[in-house]
Amino acid sequence: MKLSKPSELKIVDVNDVRNINQTVLLHLIRERQPISRVEIGKLTGLRPGTISSIVNRLIKKGVIFEGAEGPSSGGRKPTYLNVNAEAAYVLAVDIGVRDTAYAVSDFNGRILRQKSIITEGDAREFIDGLAAEIETLINGSYSRVKFAGVGVSVPGLIRRDKGEVAVSPNLGWSGLPIKQLLENKLDLPVYVENDANAAAFSELWYGPLDEIKVKTLLYILVVDGLGCGLIINGELHVGSKVGMGGFGHMCIEPNGERCSCGRKGCWETLASESATIARYHRLMSNKNGSITTSITDIIAAANRGDEKAAASLTATAEYLGEGIASLAHGLSPETVVIGGEIAAAWPLLGPIIKERVKSEYIIPEVARIEIRPASVQRPGLFGAIPVALQNYF
């Protein structure tokens, strides 16, 4: 397969990037292959014309192929579609506040290799170092022409057209041209996406197939901050110039704590990982002994019967429910997904969040929203795979 150099690539139309049909359709073919166009229509609810145009484009790209013919039900015999797992590989990068994971995935969405490094130091030097690590990984085991591109998930606001981090308060980065820095070193097209948006994509690529018809999905990524990825009417909502993610700064407690954004009582100051950890520290303040610092430790402590750890998580669940209830009334999503390491405490959090959302309802339909934990553990990394692929077609 011949791949263009980044400099030769056309500017990707933002509409191509946002439309989820292609991602959803590939996810379905991958899981149910071999599958006919008619079955795809039945399962996705997409119109035959839409399916044909996407399928034809994917066949032309060599990422899916027509296999055996199925039995005729009167008319023309249907041909079954399969995914060509070897069509292309992608590199997924998930830049986190503590560590940065990078992985090679095949076209079946299977991760072939995964590694991670500590996120530290000067931003540009860090990206250069990351590029060198990726370079070593590719050169050691793969042919470069196999790679369709690099998808990067990063916490913060991004300028999608430039692939630049406009500002990331949690990383302390601003005006960082990640796309340009990585493309210069790797000579592959690089696509940068906000971590919560990438997380929303991870659900389209790895989520449950019974949600294949879902057109409006709200992803709440609970990390150091609190990000939101929103798929609305089958498109990723990217707002205006700079990518969205602002629901974390929705005010929940007008007299609450000061947020990194300068306002008071933002959702992020109450329901993020850092808020949960800070709450646990406050509850523990009269006690001697070691102070737990990670959300995973707090979840483990709660599972061992530590009441303060449980109380800290319970309060977070209440605040998550509070925010979701407000958003659900405005957006009426079919599915709300909660991701991040905190999702491991779902048996504790889930019922509280659901109850809180239910109690707030004025629209009966909102009560039927599916609220569930994320399908994958590291959504930024798994979401970076479809981010790279979206742009490849």
Least distance to Zn ion, CB of residue 325, Å: 19
Least distance to Zn ion, CB of residue 250, Å: 8
Part in contact with Zn ion (CB under 5 A); list of ranges 91-99, 155-163, 175-183, 260-268: 260-268
Least distance to Zn ion, CB of residue 255, Å: 14
Of 163, 167, 155, which is closest to residue 188 (Cα–Cα)? 163
Q: How far apart are the first and last CA of the chain?
A: 13
Q: Exposed, middle or buried, 94 (CB in 10 Å: 0-12/13-18/19+)? A: buried
**Left if phi > 0, otherwise alpha if psi is -120 to 50, otherwise beta: which for 170?**
alpha
Closer residue to Zn ion (CB): 227 or 383: 227
Indicate the helix (H) or strand (E) that contains 135.
helix 123-141
Closer residue to Zn ion (CB): 22 or 272: 272
By CB under 5 A, residue 167 contacts Zn ion: no
List the beta bridge partners of residue 173: 168
Applying the rule CB under 5 A, the residues between 215 and 254 that interact with Zn ion are: 249
Backbone Cα Rg of the chain:
22
Closer residue to Zn ion (CB): 137 or 261: 261
Backbone angles phi, psi at 257, to 5 degrees: -70, 155
**C-alpha pair distances (Å), 317 with each of 46, 291, 312:** 36, 22, 9
Provide the 8-state DSSP code for 210.
G
Residue with tokens 């520290």, as numbered in its chain: 281
Least distance to Zn ion, CB of residue 171, Å: 16
Of 234, 235, 254, which is closest to residue 244 (Cα–Cα)? 235
Closer residue to Zn ion (CB): 214 or 271: 271
3-class secondary-structure state, position 209: helix
Closer residue to Zn ion (CB): 193 or 268: 268
Site string for Zn ion, 264-303 (x = CB under 5 A): --x-------------------------------------
Part in contact with Zn ion (CB under 5 A); list of ranges 18-26, 165-173, 214-222, 259-267: 259-267
List the beta bridge partners of residue 168: 173
Size of the site for Zn ion (CB under 5 A): 5
d(CA 192, CA 176): 11
Closer residue to Zn ion (CB): 12 or 252: 252
Least distance to Zn ion, CB of residue 238, Å: 20
Part in contact with Zn ion (CB under 5 A); list of ranges 97-105, 213-221, 257-265, 297-305: 257-265
How much of the chain is helix, strand and coil, in % rounded to 5?
A: 45, 25, 30
Residue from 46, 259, 315, 352 that binds Zn ion (CB under 5 A)?
259
Least distance to Zn ion, CB of residue 224, Å: 13
Part in contact with Zn ion (CB under 5 A); list of ranges 133-141, 164-172, 255-263, 286-294: 255-263
Provide the 8-state DSSP code for 65.
E
Least distance to Zn ion, CB of residue 245, Å: 11
Least distance to Zn ion, CB of residue 170, Å: 12
Least distance to Zn ion, CB of residue 174, Å: 16
Closer residue to Zn ion (CB): 146 or 249: 249
Closer residue to Zn ion (CB): 134 or 266: 266
Closer residue to Zn ion (CB): 170 or 391: 170
List the beta bridge partners of residue 152: 93, 192
d(CA 68, CA 268): 52
By CB under 5 A, residue 261 contacts Zn ion: yes
Site residues (vs Zn ion, CB under 5 A): 249, 259, 261, 263, 266
